[in-house]
Amino acid sequence: MLSPVDIDRLRADLLAADYTLEAVSARLGEAALAGLARNTTVAALRAIGDADDPQADAIRLWLLQRPVPAERLRRWTSLPALLEAGLVEATDAVRASVELKPHGSDRRDGWICSDPTPLDGRVGRPRPDFVLGASPASTTLTQLVPPRHYGRVLDLGTGCGIQALHLDADTIVATDLNPRALELARISLGLSGVTAELREGSLYEPVAGERFDLIVTNPPYVISPPTPDRLVYREGGFAGDALMRHVVTSAGDHLADDGVLIVLGNWAVTAEPWEERLAGWIPAGCDGLVLQRELLDPYEYIEIWLADAGLAGSREYARRYAEWLDYFASSGIEAVGLGWLAVHRSGREDPERRIEAWPHAVHQPVGEAIGDFFDAIGPARQPDAEFLATRWRTRPGVVQETIGLPGAPDPQHLVLRQQFGLGRAVEAGTGLAAVVGACDGDLPVGVLVEAVAELLGVDAEGLRAEVLPQLRRLVMDGYLLPVPGMSQTAAGASADRAAEFG
């Protein structure tokens, strides 16, 4: 493949052609970019028309998979190395055998090197060592990572290297079973100015005995019948969802204290409740958050992956479909769940495990909400006296909605809704809504509960017993944030202080 010097030359050629994310996006426009997201090139080809400038040729070659006359690329100093490495082919025209796509993140702008995306309805069987580019799954995974600086990070199954472009870390170790993936990832990382240690091997084998502050992975999770010609980028060769289970259960041996595992994948839904199955995957001493985003029946699931393998409309289609159905039936797989799984090594003897179906719309990126969930477990679990003595503030982006009949004097429902993160919503009674509305960080929540009880003319102890567990849940779900440096405690609050609140 390319040497570090060759990669530097390629980067210089790309920059000289103004083949960057910002410049290419501005030239193509929204309609063309939306078309490329649907894997169609018509709008993009119209946007560049017959232009023969360096940027237009770079877009044709690397993004639209079109040939470019060889004489128009003679200024590319990287061209001889690209030809020798087999990344482009040339006769009278130059064609790319890989896709080189501009990519950006909050951390940096760069490029992703991968195998070409099938465009304009073209289908075909991917090569066994196919390297997937920036897919919806991989870009979603980048948005699940809690945004913070990490010491050591493991990019498990790096593929084209996209995750590393989004990381803020001292050290990145990127592994993959596919040697070709590591070669293309090396180009992606080199072009994008990311330093990472690339290691070949399956799952955790290349990092035996090592621990990390973050492990991020979109593993080959597709549940499929065993076959010798499996596609390495999506099928791990394990039975059922055993690969996903191994990734999660073994993370306990590789997470440092306070370390986090973020996984995007799927799991089998069997006669055993899926929530119980996945709860059993989470290692001891670790908190867990599992969100099932979709639930597919076997037919829908199989059809998606047969099409992905280029088998739709082929003579093999019916046979492979039947094999897959038989495999699911024999394995007791009734459906497949797709979603997100996060693990935090907290060291708690009684860890928090939240496992739920969450098909609702979210506000990406949700990585901050995932990190906040783990951070809030300790404060939410404080003893009653400490919790009530804490000053809380309602997080910005929480709104109250009222629902009721037109003209009615009072609403039928009060809903507290998040306009951020997971977009959670909770129905609140009058007392809870009043307490949350008063949480501006000035007074301990115990004082607020007493004041609200007086305003509503209800027993303070009864209201406290009603809203305390609800408040704990709101803290854990990110509605309320603690305010450090309390100046007053609930236990010492005076009656005139409560009157002042009123």
Tokens in use for 414? 């009060």
State whether 326 and 453 are in the same domain.
Answer: no
The span from the CA of 10 to the CA of 19, in Å, is: 11
Per the confidence metrics, is the pTM higher than 0.85?
A: yes
Boundaries of domain holding 346: 131-377
Q: 444 and 311 in one domain?
A: no
What are the start-end ranges of the H helices in 232-339?
Answer: 242-249, 274-279, 298-308, 317-331
Spans in the chain with pLDDT lower than 50: 486-502
Structural domain contains residue 108: no
Is residue 194 included in any domain, yes or no? yes
**Per the domain annotation, does 109 fall within a domain?**
no
3-state secondary structure of 77: coil
Count structural domains, the chain. Answer: 3
Q: Are 333 and 272 in contact (CB under 8 A)?
A: no
Do 419 and 463 reside in the same domain of the chain? Answer: yes
Look at residues 377, 409, 433 and tell me which one is the last residue of a structural domain.
377
Question: Would you say residue 121 lies in a domain?
Answer: no
Does residue 113 lie within any of the structural domains? Answer: no
CB atoms within 10 A of CB 283: 18
Say whether both 272 and 391 belong to one domain.
no
CATH of the domain at 483: 3.90.930
**Residue 103, φ and ψ in degrees, nearest 5:** -145, 145
* Alpha helices for 136-241 (secondary structure H): 136-142, 179-192
Q: Domain check: are 232 and 306 in the same one?
A: yes
Query: For the purposes of burial, counting CB atoms within 10 Å of the CB of 135, is it exposed (0-12), middle (13-18) or buried (19 or more)?
Result: middle
Give the pLDDT of residue 182.
Answer: 97
- CATH number of the structural domain spanning residue 339: 3.40.50.150
Q: Is residue 116 part of a domain?
A: no
Residue at a domain's end among 361, 377, 393: 377
CA angle in degrees (0–180, nearest 5) for 140-144-150: 130
Q: Are residues 234 and 283 in the same domain?
A: yes
- 8 Å CB contact between 238 and 247: no
Same domain (yes/no): 149, 259: yes
Query: Is residue 218 located within the same domain as residue 363?
Result: yes
pLDDT at position 491: 37
390 with 344, same domain: the answer is: no
pLDDT tens digits for range 64-89: 999 999 999 989 999 999 999 999 99
First CA to last CA distance, the chain: 72
**Structure tokens, 232:** 């390495």
Does one domain contain both 363 and 392? no
Work out whether the CA dihedral 270, 272, 273, 277 comes out positive or negative.
Answer: negative
Residue 413 parent element (H or E)? strand 413-418
SS3 256: strand
The whole-angstrom separation of Cα 247 and Cα 263 is 8
Q: Helices 430-438 and 460-476 meet at what angle, rounded to 10?
A: 60
Q: Which two tokens stand for residue 66?
A: 């079109």
Per residue in 199-221, pLDDT (tens digit) is: 999 999 999 999 999 999 999 88
Cβ distance 488 to 386 under 8 Å?
Answer: no
In a domain, 124, yes or no: no
Given a contact cutoff of 8 angstroms between Cβ atoms, the answer to whether 284 and 250 are in contact is no
Listed residues 377, 410, 434: the one ending a domain? 377
State the pLDDT at residue 348.
95
Residues 307, 338: Cα–Cα separation, whole Å: 18
Predicted pLDDT at 217: 97
Amino acid (one-letter) located at 237? G
Residues 156, 194, single domain; the answer is yes
Beta partners for residue 335, in sequence order? 269
387 and 497 both lie in a single domain:
yes
Rounded to whole angstroms, the Cα distance separating 246 from 201 reads 15
- Helices 445-456 and 460-476, axial angle in degrees (round to 10): 130
**Token digits of residue 357:** 């179906």
> Which pLDDT does position 234 carry in this prediction?
84
